[in-house]
Amino acid sequence: MTVLADGSEFLTECFQRSGEFYVLRRLIGTDYFFSCAKNTLHDINNSFVVYYYTPFTYYPRTPTLCDVCNGTNLFNENLNDLGCNLPSVCQVTDPVIQERCPPCNHAFDDGLCCP
């Protein structure tokens, strides 16, 4: 996936996914850096998507989805109405800042939506 941010374009790869959350991985030098991205907006024809993502961060060991997508740094205070900020598979550890997503979102079905 090519990401355009702050006027710079760089290549990332989808490392993990749960619902609308993605862990992006980017190689900088000889180290991998990770970011949490949330797919928040798309048109009905899926011709474009909008991702909000956290700054790329270095982890000394390979992180889990919940390490990277921990409900922090995803939205600024003015964007909190965009909904949940924690994947449904992750535990809430700080209810003041974390809002866990429901386990089933048909727009981003990852097998958790059973009839």
> Looking at the domain assignment, is residue 115 inside a domain?
no
> Looking at the domain assignment, is residue 81 inside a domain?
yes
> Looking at the domain assignment, is residue 69 inside a domain?
yes
> Looking at the domain assignment, is residue 26 inside a domain?
yes
Range of the domain at 34: 2-108
**Three-class DSSP labels, the chain:** CEEEECCEEEECEEEEEECCEEEEEEEECCEEEEEEEEEEEECCCCCCEEEEECCCEECCCCCCHHHHCCCCCCCCHHHHHHCCCECCCCCCCCCCCCCECCCCCHHHCCCCCCC
What is the predicted pLDDT for the residue at 74?
A: 72
> Looking at the domain assignment, is residue 67 inside a domain?
yes
Could you tell me the two tokens for 95?
């209810």
| pLDDT tens per residue across all 115 residues of the chain | 666 666 777 788 888 988 888 899 999 899 999 999 888 765 556 666 677 788 899 999 999 999 999 988 776 655 556 678 899 999 999 888 888 988 776 666 555 566 5
> Looking at the domain assignment, is residue 66 inside a domain?
yes
Residue 12 one-letter amino acid: T
> Looking at the domain assignment, is residue 114 inside a domain?
no
What is the predicted pLDDT for the residue at 47?
A: 63
Query: What's the pTM value of the predicted model, to 2 decimals?
Result: 0.78
What is the predicted pLDDT for the residue at 31?
A: 95
Number of domains in the chain: 1
What is the predicted pLDDT for the residue at 51?
A: 74
> Looking at the domain assignment, is residue 113 inside a domain?
no
Could you tell me the two tokens for 1?
């996936």
